[in-house]
Amino acid sequence: MPRSFAALFAVLYLPIEAPAISADETLPIFDAHVHYSEGAWLSYDPRAVIELMDRAGVTRALVSSTPDDGALMLYKQDPRRFVPILRPYRSAADIHGWHQDPVVLAYVENRLQTGIYRGIGEFHLLDESQVGTPQIARLVELAVDGDLVLHVHCDAGPVHALFALNPKLKILWAHAGVFASPAEIGALLDRYATLWTELSLRAPDIDPGADLEPEWRALFLRHPTRFMIGTDTWTTSRWAEYVPLVQQHRAWLAQLPEAVARNIAHRNAERVFGGRK
């Protein structure tokens, strides 16, 4: 998790610029971190979202929202493009206490009965102590029984705690931990075979200038099947920057061997969340 709210906002509001190097604009992208929450609905209707994704070369997306209605709107508009996962937050008020609220758990259980969701999240866990509630234990049970992926925004501590509840769990680690180093990320991937991570917010770390950071490159080559691309449209302003956000990822993907780049760009997410139907 972020070391402070100031640090988080410093990451979220980094200036978005076009890539400094050439990138493969034809490489399909599966965006594994999209929110279509209520604040964006008036500015970007589902057709406008699809137009942005077409411009960015994003062929599929993992989508959640607060409230869940936004994800359902995109899914109904194009069920072949959008893969819905269920966010536990009925409103922004749920973000702090959701992990110990039986009403939120009942809401999640009820929504999952539709059978359309491929995961639960993105949700936030501040530390491993928040994993030790009956509600989280039941959430893990639901995920394992339903073959659902938990999309978790946290640092390494909650990842360990969640897998301790059930080693069969599947986790998509949001933002690769936000501030986690390649060494820290690699250690977790080495330990847990059903852990994947998406790289929203991390493009400036991976490629801060004209070249891919050597530590990141080595990590991608060591774990080519465990990373996914993400943009995290958590606020409406991120939709205005959507195409440049994807271009940032294309810049460093273009510096990897083609097979590795294609894995990270779309194939890994397709393996975990399924191809087009």
Q: What is the pLDDT of residues 240-261, one digit of tens each?
A: 999 999 999 999 999 999 999 9
Q: What is the pLDDT of residues 21-59, one digit of tens each?
A: 344 458 999 999 999 999 999 999 999 999 999 999 999
**Spatial distance between the Cα atoms of 19 and 58, rounded to a whole number of angstroms:** 17
Which pair of tokens denotes residue 90?
A: 């009925």
Would you say 63 and 80 are in contact if contact means Cβ atoms under 8 Å apart?
A: no
Whether 203 shows a pLDDT value over 70: the answer reads yes
- C-alpha distances (whole Å) from 230 to each of 54, 201, 225, 259 are 15, 8, 15, 19
**Taking residues 197-211, what's their average pLDDT?**
94
Would you say 273 and 149 are in contact if contact means Cβ atoms under 8 Å apart?
A: yes
Q: What percent of the chain has pLDDT over 90?
A: 88
Would you say 16 and 248 are in contact if contact means Cβ atoms under 8 Å apart?
A: yes
Would you say 101 and 134 are in contact if contact means Cβ atoms under 8 Å apart?
A: no
Q: How many DSSP H helices and E strands does the chain contain? A: 13, 8
Whether 9 shows a pLDDT value over 90: the answer reads no
CATH topology of domain 24-273: TIM Barrel (3.20.20)
Considering the chain, what is the average pLDDT of its residues? Answer: 92
**Spatial distance between the Cα atoms of 212 and 56, rounded to a whole number of angstroms:** 21
Q: What is the pTM of this model?
A: 0.91
Residue ranges covered by each domain of the chain: 24-273
Positions of E strands within the chain: 29-35, 58-64, 82-84, 119-124, 149-153, 170-173, 195-198, 227-228
In sign, the C-alpha dihedral spanning 138, 141, 147, 149 is positive
Whether 73 shows a pLDDT value over 80: the answer reads yes
